[in-house]
Amino acid sequence: MRKTPMTPEEILRRRDEIVARRGPWRDDNLRLAKNVYTMGEGARGNEGRVRRTVQTVLDLAASRIKELRVLDLGCGEGGFALELGKQGAEVVAIEGRPALAEKAEFAREALGLRHVAILHGDLCRLSPEEHGFFDVVLALGILDRLDAPALFDVANRIAAVCKGFALVEARLAARPRASHVCDGIVFRGSLRSVDNEPRFLLTRASMLSLLAQSGFTSIAETLDPNAAADAPCFAAFKGRRAALQTAPQANAVLPPRWEEASPAPPRGGIARLLRRVRK
């Protein structure tokens, strides 16, 4: 890693070179130096979502942020990883798209964040042996980009490297129109193609079941008025399984799985049914 900081002039020159080669920044408007931004001063980017995520990490983490080791999966242009690194966390960020990984690495270097590592890699190779363990894992908009069986493989890998909690944000399927069997369990969702790439979107019940099946002991939903209604964010905690001492007979019973919600009756369906009965 570079030891001497870049001057504002060098940062501006290199930013413009990357824009000419890779295209403009589209998500993260990062201030790299005085009067030097990735998108431009006053431009609106992803900062609202970054702030919401950082606030959630601060609220849920048992340790101070400077004591946290954070993993950001599919880091994009680096907004989440670089902000957490700027606040003192040790961060490893993995991005599979070369253009985005290059932008994130340039921003890391411009900001002088030596305890942030931007890796260009495949999420399907994530493992404790190669990457270690993390207090916080960010999986924001990752699982809904994958098709089965990669979706289930990556979920298990997230749980394997997480020793604190993971923030999992994903677009969900409104109705179960397809299914996939993993480890003998049927998961339901819908198939979708984006840019000719197949994706398997889980229903809400199947997403919760997958997180529980992967080894997370408690799951909570974080709420924000600006979040997309069909893409909730779950905080999944990697804790120790509770064993009851006052009711040991319950310890051998597996926790219940989430059931798919029954489809709502068509609008006016009950009224039409009552009219038929009265006739």
- Model pLDDT for residues 71-114, shown as the tens digit of each residue: 999 999 999 999 999 999 999 999 999 999 999 999 999 999 99
Mean pLDDT (the chain) is 92
Q: 245 is written with which tokens?
A: 């001492």
Residue 125: strand, helix, or coil = helix
Angle at 198 between CA 121 and CA 78, to 5 degrees: 35
Find out whether 118 and 110 touch, Cβ atoms under 8 Å.
no
| Mean pLDDT along residues 190-206 | 93
CATH topology of domain 8-275: Rossmann fold (3.40.50)
Enumerate the domain spans of the chain.
8-275
Reply yes or no on whether the pLDDT at 268 is more than 70.
no
- Long-range contacts formed by 106-109: CB under 8 A, 24+ apart: 106/14, 106/15, 106/18, 107/28, 107/30, 107/32, 107/38, 107/77, 107/78, 107/82, 108/78, 108/81, 108/82, 109/1, 109/2, 109/6
pTM of structure: 0.91
* pLDDT digits 0-9 by tens, 125-153: 999 999 999 999 999 999 999 999 999 99
The stretches of 87-169 forming alpha helices (DSSP H) are 98-111, 128-131, 150-161
